[in-house]
Amino acid sequence: MGAGASAKKRGAEGKLKGVVRGKGDKKAGVAESKRSAVVGTPGDAGGGQKGAQSEETSEAFEGVEDVLCRLAQTHPTQTPERWELITQKLNRAMRNKKISAQPMKDIFAKEGLCIPQCWVAEKAQAEKDRALARAQKAAEKKEGALGRILFGKKKKKTAAAAVAGSDRKKTGEGQAVGEVTADEANETDTETESDENVADDPAAGTEGGQASVYKYKALSKYEVFSFMRRVHDRAGAAMISTEEAVEDMRKAKKMVDTLYEHLPVQTLKEISQQNRINASLMQDSVAYGEIDISHFLKVMVKLKRIHGNMMSVGGSFWDLGSGVGKCVIAAAMMHNWESCYGVECLEDLRAAARPTLERWRKEEVPKLHSVKANIRVDFINADAMKQKGWVAEATLLFVHTNFSAKDIIEIKTKADGMKIGAIALSVSLAAVNEDKWGLLAVEQIKTSWGSANLYIHEKLAA
C-alpha cells in the first residue's frame, strides 16, 4: 500500500472513530483524522503532500481559521501556543454548530481580546448567506440519489463533491463504490451539520430578527500551529517591535514637552477664557482642558499593537476640540498617517498652535520610526459640528466630550457615517452610538481636571 493511500486509510479510520465531532471520547478520532489528513506523520510522503494542499486551501472555508485570521490581524503578538488554548475554548463553545456573533464577542471579552472588525454584517450580507443556504439545500436534495449510490445510505453531500465523485468514476481515478476517503468523510460530516439550529444575533440589527451567522469548523492543534506560523511570517515584517514602540513613545513625549514648554496649561486656560469672552462663548462646552500626553501615547501604542487598521500605513487622525494641537502632534509622531487634523472653534488657541506646528515641521527632532516626511498635519479653525471632513476621512477620531448634550447627540449621529473599522476615542462619555460601534476597551487616564475614562470603540456596522 502506497504512502498516500496509507494516510488516507488512517484518516478514514480516525474519522469513523469519531463521526460526531465534539462529543465525549470521540474527539480523539477527529484529532487523528485531521492529523493524518492535514499534516501526515514523519516520513509519510502522502501526508506531507496533503499538508501542502491544506496550506493552499485552508483559508478558503469559513471556520475557526477565519476567526484566527481576524484575531491574528488584531493581536499579532500572540504565540501559536496561546492560539491553541484560545482555539480549544472556541471549539468547546461552538460545538460545531452555526452561532451568531454575540456569543463570540463574549468569549473574546473573557480572553481579553479585541473584537475583530466587520463582525456585524450588513443586511445584504445576511441575505446573501440565507440565499446560499437555500441553494445548498436544493443541491443536496437534487444529489440525494447519487449520495445513496456512493455511500449505500442516505447522506447529505454537496453538488461539488458529487461532481468530483462522478469525475473520478469517469477517469478511473476514484475508489470503489462505497469506499469513503478522509476528505469525503470530513466533507460529509460538515454538510450533515449544516441543518443545525441557527442562533439569532440581536446585535446585527437585521430585519425580522434574522441575523447574519458565521459558520465555524473545529480545528485540530496541528492546523492551528500551521496556520499561525504562516500568519506570523506574513505579519512579522510589518510589525513594530516593543522596543521601537517604547522608544517612539519616549521620544514623542520629549518632543511634545519641548514644543509646548512655552505654553503651560494655565496660560492656555487664560487664552481660552479671553477668547470666549471676546466671542461671547461662555458655555462650559468650550472650556479648556488637556489629557495627559503620556496616557494618550500609551493608548496609541496599544492600538498599534492590537488593532488591524493601525498595523498598516495610512489613515487619517482627527481631533475634535484640539486646543493647541498637542494630541495631533503626538499622534502624527506615532503612526504613518496620511493626514492628521485638529478642529478647534477658538481662533486664539488655533493661532497659538500654528508656530508650534511650523517648528515641528521644520525640525522634526527627534525623528521617529513612524513619521512620514509627506504627512499632512494641520489645525482647522471651525465648529466641529459643521466640519464634514472628519466624517468622511477619519479612521481614528479623538473627542473630548466636554460638549453640550445637543452637540454630543449630533456627534453620535455624524459618527454613524464613518467608515467600518474606524476607531473612536472618547473622553468621559462615549461619543458614538453603541448599536453600530463595539466597545473595545475602557482606559483610566489623567487630565488637567482630574482622572477620566477613555472609551475606545470600533465601527462595526454601516
- Cα–Cα dist 424/426, whole Å: 6
286 CB contacts (<8 Å, ≥6 apart)?
272, 276, 345, 346
pLDDT at position 368 is 57
pTM: 0.51
Mean pLDDT, residues 264-289: 74
Given a cut of 70, whether residue 139 has pLDDT beyond it is: yes
pLDDT at position 184 is 39
pLDDT at position 232 is 47
- More confident: 205 or 335: 335
Find out whether 373 and 258 touch, Cβ atoms under 8 Å: no
Given a cut of 80, whether residue 430 has pLDDT beyond it is: yes
Kindly indicate the confidence band of residue 398, based on its pLDDT and cuts at 50, 70 and 90.
very high
The pLDDT tens digits of the residues spanning 244-255 come to 777 878 888 988
Mean pLDDT, residues 69-86: 61
pLDDT at position 177 is 36
DSSP conformation class of 419: P
pLDDT at position 369 is 56
Given a cut of 90, whether residue 117 has pLDDT beyond it is: no
Least confident of 35-39, 94-98, 123-127: 35-39
Closest CA to 214 of 433, 34, 68, 420: 68
Q: What average pLDDT is seen over the chain?
A: 65
Strand bridging mode 396-400 / 376-381: unpaired
DSSP per residue, 109-128: HHHT-PPPTT-S--HHHHHH
Termini Cα distance of the chain: 56
pLDDT at position 34 is 36
CA dist 129 → 119, 293, 363, 417 (Å)? 14, 46, 54, 25
- Cα–Cα dist 317/379, whole Å: 12
30 CB contacts (<8 Å, ≥6 apart)?
14, 15, 18, 21, 22, 218, 220
Given a cut of 50, whether residue 205 has pLDDT beyond it is: no
- More confident: 303 or 276: 303
pLDDT at position 421 is 83
Strand bridging mode 423-427 / 339-344: unpaired
The CA-based diameter of the chain, rounded to the nearest angstrom, is: 92
Angle at CA of residue 128, ends 123 and 133, nearest 5°: 125
- Cα–Cα dist 308/72, whole Å: 9
Closest CA to 104 of 52, 45, 63: 63
Strand bridging mode 423-427 / 450-459: antiparallel
Least confident of 54-58, 148-152, 380-384, 416-420: 54-58
Find out whether 76 and 37 touch, Cβ atoms under 8 Å: no
Kindly indicate the confidence band of residue 429, based on its pLDDT and cuts at 50, 70 and 90.
confident
The domains found in the chain, sorted by start residue, are 109-213 (no CATH), 242-459 (3.40.50.150)
Kindly indicate the confidence band of residue 26, based on its pLDDT and cuts at 50, 70 and 90.
very low
- Cα–Cα dist 58/128, whole Å: 22
The pLDDT tens digits of the residues spanning 341-394 come to 999 888 888 888 888 888 888 876 456 555 666 788 999 998 888 888 999 999
pLDDT at position 339 is 92
pLDDT at position 104 is 57
Given a cut of 50, whether residue 432 has pLDDT beyond it is: yes
Given a cut of 50, whether residue 199 has pLDDT beyond it is: no
Q: Which residues of 297-328 are buried (b: 16+ CB within 10 A; e: fewer)?
A: bbbbbbbbbbbbbbbeeebbbbbbbbbbbbbb
Least confident of 44-53, 131-140, 360-369, 419-428: 44-53
Mean pLDDT, residues 50-71: 44
Kindly indicate the confidence band of residue 38, based on its pLDDT and cuts at 50, 70 and 90.
very low
Kindly indicate the confidence band of residue 329, based on its pLDDT and cuts at 50, 70 and 90.
very high
- More confident: 161 or 194: 161
Given a cut of 70, whether residue 426 has pLDDT beyond it is: yes
